[in-house]
A and B are shown apart, each in its own frame.
Chain A
């Protein structure tokens, strides 16, 4: 209750680096909202490097991050950031940067104001905060629009401002909740570069996404969450290999499935065609890219009328399903 008269953020001893403890440590952590389970008995320790957190919508990624950032209280288990409980103590916050999934910003503030004001909450003086904010905006490539109001920013710029505010205290741990969501390819590339660069600088970074390809471009170390459970963690290549061994499916809706099936079976990469209904056709392949490339030509050659093309496979759910051995 007492105001922190020191205004430097927490007790002084919290500033001593505790070398032995992992940066992030979760021990049998569960979190449920009423009857809904957000996170189910997750134990993990992360130290150093860039870690990708992969999971479908509702898999518990945001819950995981909110627990780390001390926004939520775990229903069970213990969480430690640098050896300290983030729910009870705000001192670890001075060593982390948290980018929430929330898209709201203070639209009336300029970028530099926003970052500098939040920097002052780390205990910097007015001048220090301004310098820091300038540097960090330069780092995320927003220096030229630093004095523009946030309300006029595009989605990609907004994401970068959010990253900038999290970097302003030079954090050891950076948590990025869906930083690529809703960005165009150019903004994606910029943000990915920023994340990679941070990783190269030796920070511990945890970044979440529901798109495997995105995560792949950033890091090799991934954690997969599904239905609140920790499903897999490890090198992305290992997981990729498992995926490639798994046959892909393409579903076509057409009025002449049999004609089309004949055409497809001639293709080198197709190893199976099934006809589940009268108007449906499922093509099985190990090489999704090659088949997709030839797909329009095959359809045109066949002269069949195709009303829908779908990849029942190529979403995270089915990858996860495959990993869990369900399919």
Chain B
């Protein structure tokens, strides 16, 4: 039977189920037989496990509650803590004046009640100018009292006992009335911020960068180059298939291996962080959206890297060294863009655009992250360490501040995500096209 009288089946599948799937399957099977593939994928999974162990440990340990405003202390030793006395109007420094002498007498509160008694009350950022709620009433009690007119409206917004939030240079500034939201729940705050910081940090560094660059380095650089230097490329290019297609289908084989792998790792991470993360429900469903964003950023970036490394391998036998040098460059740019995304030079790297995608999704998922940082920093905590005291903001605020950023392009997360995705996609396609034309003109010895 010669080629011309071979029956042609006309469904799309059977058409593609000839050359494209042949090379795709071949590439996948080739990966499967290589020890290095399993080593690479295994190390990736191992890293995930190690990091997740630290996350689980962080989420299960409890941060000791701190009485940030000191009102669980009984200054005058009359059995009533300062907070209760203040609320009921008795003197905090006079043992003979306490709520037990009031009519009817008030029983003393346990001191624990006056720890973490005034948590943050910010649910979302709207246009309203007023936030905060004086949960324990130690500000409200002074409203109308003589001499406290300025005191209860310290931030001068005309509302007593609230919090004013204003934005300045892309940062939130908190102007508080005194004794409002002054004793937050350290444990809840720490867990929320560390949970967010973890997903952002691990998503950006672990997924988008480390997996995103090392998998292509290990798995994609040799797609064509190894065949060229091994001499086995002869078998494929001697067939009636254009070299451009060979290149594309080889890359498809890489995608077929890595995308499901990324998906599995993302799902595992999403499940663990969803179950272990802080929150009222048993699972943090809202975070899934961010994990989806991390997945998108990872596959886009890793495919772009794969196309670049593969093309470098096609261009020259020293393309491998080029890939290593490029990888190191991306490494330094990735670190820079994780912690200061505004740095101009990072625009010359691909990693930065992947980070923007994650930041964009994070901004949509948690619009209040920046506010959370600002609130945490508005509380002053006195720490004791080796007998020395030092003041810091609420534990967790700096962590979240390090990892949560607004998208640096237009400020609108959706637009920035679209720009970054388009850019990465375009670079991928462009690189493939360049690789194809170089490959076509390549003499194969």
Contact = CB atoms under 8 A, between A and B. Distances in A.
A9 B33 contact: no
Interface SS majority for chain A:
loop
A93 B240 contact: yes
B8 A8 contact: yes
Given A1-B433, A4-B19, A95 B3 contact: yes
A43 B11 CA distance: 45
Interface stretch (B161-169, B205-213, B226-234): B226-234
Interface in A165-208: 165-166, 169-170
B17 interface: yes
Nearest to B231: A102
Interface in B403-445: 433, 436-437, 441, 443-445
B444 A7 contact: no
A72 B443 CA distance: 5
Given A106-B30, A169-B3, A4 B231 contact: no
Contacts, number: 126
B22 A117 contact: yes
B1 interface: yes
A9 to B, nearest CB: 3
A4 B241 contact: yes
Contacts of A210: none
Contact of A98 (B20, B22, B234): B234
B443 A128 contact: no
A108 interface: yes
A105 interface: yes
B6 A108 contact: no
A104 interface: yes
A69 interface: yes
B1 A170 contact: yes
A128 B170 CA distance: 64
Contacts of B248: 3
B230 A7 contact: no
Nearest to A86: B238
Contacts of B238: 69-71, 93, 96, 98, 100, 166
A118 B236 contact: yes
A1 B237 CA distance: 15
**Which one of B6, B21, B230 has the highest number of Cβ atoms from chain A below 10 Å of its Cβ?**
B6
Nearest to A91: B240
A122 interface: yes
A117 B3 contact: no
B7 to A, nearest CB: 9
Interface residues of A, number: 48
B326 interface: no
B35 to A, nearest CB: 11
A83 to B, nearest CB: 16
A22 interface: no
B235 A71 contact: no
A6 B6 CA distance: 13
A182 to B, nearest CB: 15
Contact of A9 (B236, B241, B437): B241
Nearest to B236: A121
**Which one of B21, B33, B240 has the highest number of Cβ atoms from chain A below 10 Å of its Cβ?**
B240
A153 interface: no
Given A72-B443, A104-B230, A6 B15 contact: yes
B26 interface: yes
B315 interface: no
B286 interface: no
Nearest to B238: A98
Contacts of A103: 231
A4 B445 contact: no
Contact of B240 (A73, A90, A104): A90
Contact of A124 (B6, B29, B433): B6
Contacts of B29: 108-109
A28 interface: no
Nearest to A168: B239
A118 B26 CA distance: 9
B316 to A, nearest CB: 16
Given A102-B231, A165-B235, A7 B240 contact: no
Given A7-B16, A90-B240, A117 B6 contact: no
A100 B239 CA distance: 13
A153 B413 CA distance: 59
A121 B240 contact: yes
Interface string B14-40: 111111111101100110010000000
B4 interface: yes
B33 A122 contact: no
B9 interface: yes
B128 interface: no
A66 interface: yes
A126 B436 CA distance: 26
A100 B231 contact: yes
A121 B16 CA distance: 11
A4 B245 contact: yes
Contacts of B236: 118, 121
A141 to B, nearest CB: 21
Contacts of A126: 17, 21
A285 interface: no
B156 interface: no
Interface of B: 1-4, 6, 8-9, 14-23, 25-26, 29-30, 33, 230-232, 234-245, 248, 433, 436-437, 441, 443-445
Given A90-B240, A124-B18, 10 more contacts: A4-B19, A6-B8, A7-B20, A9-B239, A15-B4, A71-B444, A102-B231, A108-B33, A118-B235, A121-B23
12 contacts: A1-B437, A3-B248, A73-B443, A90-B241, A93-B238, A94-B240, A104-B230, A117-B26, A122-B3, A123-B240, A128-B6, A170-B2
Q: 4 nearest interchain CB pairs?
A: A9-B240, A120-B22, A121-B239, A94-B240
